[in-house]
Structure 1
Amino acid sequence: MPRFSKYSLLAVLLLSAGLVRADIKIGVIASSTGPTAAVGIPQKNTVALLPSEIGGQKIEYIVLDDASDPTNAVTGVKKLLGEHRIDALIGPTTTPAALAILDFVAESKTPLLTTVGSSAVVLPMDDKKKWVFKTTQNDDLIAEAVLANMATAGIKTLGFIGFNDPYGENWFKVFSAMAEKAGIKLVANERFNRTDQSVTGQVLKVIAARPDAVFIAATGGPAVLPQAGLQEKGYKGRIYQTHGVATNDFIRLGGKTVEGTLMAGGPMLVADDLAAGNPIKPMAQGYIKNYEAKYGAGTMSTFGANTYDAGLLLQKAIPDALKKAKPGSSEFRIALRDALEASKEVVGAQGVFNMSAQNHNGMDQRARVMMTVRGGKWVLLKE
């Protein structure tokens, strides 16, 4: 019979009781099925590229699919928090799902690195949102670049078509106020659902208002629908999209109807066009190379890069948290939140992160470029 010291025997007993845990557990929720799958699949796929060990600790990733449904996201979070006792969470894919899980994340004091577009998940800062960190550009950062492009093009009037959910509403709130300050008049405001099969009525109302340009606030495949409708009805003005379509799948789905689309988005999508001295360029190219080596040429997506950047932030923060507490404890989760909030000049594939107590996104102008669809691919728009 093997002999144990009293200390090793105590460790065995504690491990068997679930009181001591060596591994760090990271939960991931991604919409790998449902209407937002074009966004969620690359996020799920990217998990395989995240570090398997940080600070000498093995990292275990538990990945769940919410099928693009906020209710499923809540169910998944409850499972991850209660059954798996995760130390941190990455995801979910959609803004409605992220907003739906905020109470559970805050109550359990578990850091959430969310990959959604809307700034509503981190602003305004409060006791719940202090547990949330966001790896996609805030709406106002993207809107600023879009409006600058519109001003240069002489756009005076604008039509808006957005999702009838928090993503579309937050974009309208942010963009309409900024457009007014820029001297651009909003002449049409229409909404549609992610699962709608037709937006003909909304498109006709927008065209009837005769705007110089149309701004579409939607994500993934559903964002193609209003743009295709505008093209089919003969609209000749400029069409802008949010960074919610920053993927090659948007072009594959839209084909010729999305040619000429204008978008401000993360630099990773046009990484090869970036200047040689841009610190994001090698990080973005490295992610693309690793992703496409595993999943095939042309499959990379900025949505996956947002998950990758979440992993980079954790890679920087976890060693500091380990100095204060052990994985699996509330003390570790608190220390990890604090370390994430202290992140400075963390270079990712989508931008450079500088977090603070009031800014849990931490991205600046380095995290956005203007681009367009030309010849069936995204290219950097040189202004």
Structure 2
Amino acid sequence: MNLKKIVCATSVLAASIYAQADIKVGVITSSSGPIAMVGIPQKNTIDLLPKKIGNENVHYISLDDASDPTASVKAVEKLIKENNVDAIIGPSGSPNASAVIATVAKAQVPLLAPVGTASIVIPMNAQKKWVFKTTQNDDIIAEALIQDMVKRKFKTLGFIGTADPYGENWGKVVSALAKKHGIQVVAQETFQRQDTSLTGQALKLISKKPQAILVAAPGSAAVPPQAALFDRGYRGQIYQTHGAALDQFLTLGGKKVENTILAASLMLVINEIPNSHPSKAVASKYINAYKAKYKQTPATFGANVYDAGILLEKAVPVALKTAKPGTVQFREALRNALETTKEVAGTQGVYNMSPTDHSGFDKRGREMIIVKNGQWKLLK
């Protein structure tokens, strides 16, 4: 072999070794399909994630699961087997995230899930210890909603949620909290995210004459139940979960969602938040970067992916002290580092993780918000 070939071969080998040293992060989003309103801002946010952490380059591998949980599993398997990723951000939907838990746990790959349902991290077990959640747990949001109902002296509540892990867990959490505070859940209904008619559920809820109704659904699916209730004359107080926290909720719902109350991210009312809030500067930085790149305001769902980048930025340097990227030792060290996250400000609130809490939000991760004149406003 001549000198030129030796130099070329050496360069290729060196480049290969360097590439292997890069940190690889898979990102699975539902940027098409029924929950694309959630997945598109998440996919867009990938370009705003840190490209370098410490001295290591970070390489992101983006896949679309088309809102299908089966496709989510296949995407995870591909990222693990073919790309040897060190961590995965996603998927977008609660059913999708629930479907991949066993796969990431078996491969020992940390999953940072930007989804609503707390059931992916609660109750904690050997599989869920590999999952970290970048949104507020249901109980933190539900507590704020129930407190508002108590303040308004409501005694009866109707509930309608999606027939999937998101709606199911919300049903459990709200029923328990309502009972604790002397509020009777007089009717509970479910629906599929893709349902186009909810007349039956609306009529059943209205027949029980609840003083308030809580809708538990993510993304655009939050609108149809409320629209159906409005069209059939219900004028009691409607509450929504943080799953409705996107501007499309306002445009799709129009006057039918006026006066809706929800507990959600400070991002919706960023201009009303005091500068002293630990998350305001972080959220503002994300909003401005997203606007600069895409010429529109990001949904809070995109911010959940951005926060995953913040968590990795804090955890990776700790893991690098133990092992090199691309190894099971590094993934284990990364999982351990994520679990010890303390007082890290994200766009949605402040993260304090522990072996039993893989969401880490407290009351700083929610604001009480109302829809007034087609806009989000702080509830005062």
What is the DSSP-based 3-state SS (H/G/I as helix, E as strand, rest coil) of the residue aligned with 1:188? strand
Q: Does 1:303 align with 2:301?
A: yes
CA distance in 1, matches of 2:315, 2:120: 21
The equivalent residue for 2:193 is 194
**Does structure 2 retain, via aligned residues, the 8 Å contact 1:218–1:244?**
yes
What is the DSSP-based 3-state SS (H/G/I as helix, E as strand, rest coil) of the residue aligned with 1:313? helix
Question: Unaligned regions of 5+ residues in structure 1, if any?
Answer: none
1:378 maps to a residue whose letter is W
Q: Does 1:107 align with 2:106?
A: yes
CA distance in 1, matches of 2:74, 2:18: 25
What is the DSSP-based 3-state SS (H/G/I as helix, E as strand, rest coil) of the residue aligned with 1:29? strand
The equivalent residue for 1:174 is 173
The equivalent residue for 2:35 is 36
- Which stretch of the first structure deviates more once superposed, 252-261 or 198-207? 252-261
Question: Unaligned regions of 5+ residues in structure 2, if any?
Answer: none
Identity %: 55
The equivalent residue for 1:268 is 267
The equivalent residue for 1:207 is 206
Q: How do 1:219-238 and structure 2 match up within 5 A?
A: 219-238=218-237
2:303 maps to a residue whose letter is A
Q: Does 1:329 align with 2:327?
A: yes
Task: State the 1:285 CA deviation.
Answer: 1.1
Q: Does 1:53 align with 2:52?
A: yes
The equivalent residue for 1:138 is 137
**Does structure 2 retain, via aligned residues, the 8 Å contact 1:20–1:328?**
no
CA distance in 1, matches of 2:164, 2:354: 29
Task: State the 1:20 CA deviation.
Answer: 7.5
Task: State the 1:192 CA deviation.
Answer: 0.4
CA distance in 1, matches of 2:119, 2:361: 15
**Does structure 2 retain, via aligned residues, the 8 Å contact 1:283–1:348?**
yes
CA distance in 2, matches of 1:40, 1:243: 16
CA RMSD of aligned residues (A): 1.7
CA distance in 2, matches of 1:285, 1:272: 9
CA distance in 2, matches of 1:306, 1:57: 23
CA distance in 1, matches of 2:161, 2:288: 33
2:231 maps to a residue whose letter is E
CA distance in 1, matches of 2:355, 2:229: 43
Task: State the 1:37 CA deviation.
Answer: 0.8
CA distance in 1, matches of 2:241, 2:311: 24
Task: State the 1:175 CA deviation.
Answer: 0.7
Q: Does 1:349 align with 2:335?
A: no
What is the DSSP-based 3-state SS (H/G/I as helix, E as strand, rest coil) of the residue aligned with 1:35? coil
Task: State the 1:276 CA deviation.
Answer: 2.3
Tell me: CA distance 1:325–1:14, structure 2 relative to 1, closer, same or farther (3 Å).
farther
The equivalent residue for 2:149 is 150
**Does structure 2 retain, via aligned residues, the 8 Å contact 1:272–1:285?**
no
- Which stretch of the first structure deviates more once superposed, 236-245 or 373-382? 373-382
CA distance in 2, matches of 1:305, 1:19: 31
- Which stretch of the first structure deviates more once superposed, 250-259 or 98-107? 250-259
Q: Which of 295, 317, 324 in structure 1 is aligned with 2:315?
A: 317
Tell me: CA distance 1:226–1:64, structure 2 relative to 1, closer, same or farther (3 Å).
same
CA distance in 1, matches of 2:233, 2:12: 72
Task: State the 1:13 CA deviation.
Answer: 5.1
CA distance in 1, matches of 2:24, 2:159: 42
Tell me: CA distance 1:15–1:48, structure 2 relative to 1, closer, same or farther (3 Å).
closer
The equivalent residue for 1:125 is 124
Alignment: residue pair count: 377
CA distance in 2, matches of 1:4, 1:316: 40
Task: State the 1:14 CA deviation.
Answer: 8.3
2:362 maps to a residue whose letter is D
Task: State the 1:139 CA deviation.
Answer: 0.4
What is the DSSP-based 3-state SS (H/G/I as helix, E as strand, rest coil) of the residue aligned with 1:136? coil
1:73 maps to a residue whose letter is S
Tell me: CA distance 1:36–1:20, structure 2 relative to 1, closer, same or farther (3 Å).
closer
Moved over 4 A (4+): 2-5, 11-16
The equivalent residue for 1:293 is 292
Q: Does 1:74 align with 2:53?
A: no
**Does structure 2 retain, via aligned residues, the 8 Å contact 1:120–1:170?**
yes
CA distance in 2, matches of 1:50, 1:88: 14
What is the DSSP-based 3-state SS (H/G/I as helix, E as strand, rest coil) of the residue aligned with 2:61? strand
The equivalent residue for 1:256 is 255
**Does structure 2 retain, via aligned residues, the 8 Å contact 1:272–1:281?**
no
Task: State the 1:15 CA deviation.
Answer: 6.8
CA distance in 1, matches of 2:335, 2:15: 25
Tell me: CA distance 1:350–1:69, structure 2 relative to 1, closer, same or farther (3 Å).
same
CA distance in 1, matches of 2:65, 2:180: 39
CA distance in 2, matches of 1:239, 1:187: 15
CA distance in 2, matches of 1:13, 1:40: 38
